[in-house]
Amino acid sequence: MPLGDLDNALKLRRSAPGLWTAHADPKYESANGMFGGWTTAVALRAVCDDADGDATPSAITINFVNKVEPGSDVVIQTRRVGESRSVSYWQSELSVDNFTLAVASVVLTKRRETDGHIQITMPDVPEPSMLELLQLAPGPCGQQMSDRPIVGYPPHKQDSTYSAEWVREMSGRTIDHLQLAFLADHRAPRSFYWSDCPRPSATLSLSVYLHATEDELAAVGDDEVLSEAFGTRGVQSTSEEHLRLWSRHGVLLATSVQMAWYR
């Protein structure tokens, strides 16, 4: 089967141990350089490939230092910084011509069956087929994404920063942890919501926590996932923003927290 767009965009070439190259596919361009979800996912893929199936990704925190130019070839350097019997800690750094673009910390875990808990539930929302498909202009990601807004659209002059929508990456790729990391940055900046119109905004730091099991991901396939986002506080040009990703069947797949800059 030929690779879909996102698989091609996340392809890596290995040039030496712990050294990779990725092409910044302009199809995944945002308003200011490459889409942050692409940067997050490709940084995570390099670690997962370096670990060679050693464990499951559980968390990634990435700091966006400089803009990733669409069309550029990005060097990714990975290294294991520590480990125990069940957990390993990695660093993944993206650069062009020795100029740092992003630095990520990744946690891989060897998961086993245990008891568990969950404190939140998926909201009661309409099925995707009952909602209008939002027509996205090119960037971020243009026609690569499907969005069906439920609450919080359009993202301007709103009383709340809360939004909910069904989202799907349109290349037909079966969802996995890489794609959850990609989707964790797909939402309008919360600074838009208390404003009259779009305003300059950029992600400073993004943390993604990956909860889904392999069986839960297999059950999603390439279906839509519900994306809930809300802000906690924006002040003096920085805004803390949270996101939750749910399967159609109410399984919490991933959560994320980010700090964004705005003016």
Per-residue DSSP letters for 226-246? EEEEEEEEEETTEEEEEEEEE
* CATH (domain of 168): 2.40.160.210
- Looking at residues 139-151, what average pLDDT do you find? 77
Report the number of secondary-structure helices (H) and strands (E) in the chain.
4, 14
- Report if residue 125 sits inside a domain: no
Backbone angles phi, psi at 6, to 5 degrees: -70, -40
pLDDT, one tens digit per residue, over 83-135 is 999 999 999 999 999 999 999 999 999 998 999 999 999 999 999 999 999 86
Nearest to 58 by CA among 122, 117, 112: 112
**pLDDT beyond 80 at 259:** yes
Backbone angles phi, psi at 94, to 5 degrees: -100, 135
- Report if residue 128 sits inside a domain: no
- Report if residue 115 sits inside a domain: no
Q: How far apart are CA 218 and CA 229, in angstroms?
A: 24
pLDDT given for residue 55 in this prediction: 84
Amino acid at 240: E
pLDDT band for 31, please (50, 70, 90 cuts): confident
- Ranges assigned E (strand) in 110-235: 145-151, 163-169, 201-210, 225-235
Domain count, the chain: 1
**pLDDT beyond 50 at 2:** no
Amino acid at 16: A
Amino acid at 152: G
For 8, other C-beta atoms within 10 Å of its C-beta total 14
pLDDT, one tens digit per residue, over 15-27 is 999 999 999 999 8
Pick 135 or 176 by higher pLDDT. 176
pLDDT given for residue 172 in this prediction: 87
Q: Domain range for residue 26?
A: 5-110+140-262
Q: How far apart are CA 243 and CA 261, in angstroms?
A: 17
pLDDT given for residue 138 in this prediction: 47
Nearest to 210 by CA among 106, 122, 121, 87: 106
**pLDDT beyond 80 at 140:** no
pLDDT band for 139, please (50, 70, 90 cuts): very low
pLDDT given for residue 143 in this prediction: 62
**pLDDT beyond 80 at 1:** no
Pick 3 or 244 by higher pLDDT. 244
Pick 75 or 54 by higher pLDDT. 75
Mean pLDDT of the chain: 93
Q: How far apart are CA 170 and CA 151, in angstroms?
A: 22
**pLDDT beyond 70 at 136:** no
Backbone angles phi, psi at 195, to 5 degrees: -115, 165
- Report if residue 249 sits inside a domain: yes
Does an H or E element contain 258, and which?
strand 252-262
pLDDT band for 258, please (50, 70, 90 cuts): very high
pLDDT given for residue 82 in this prediction: 96
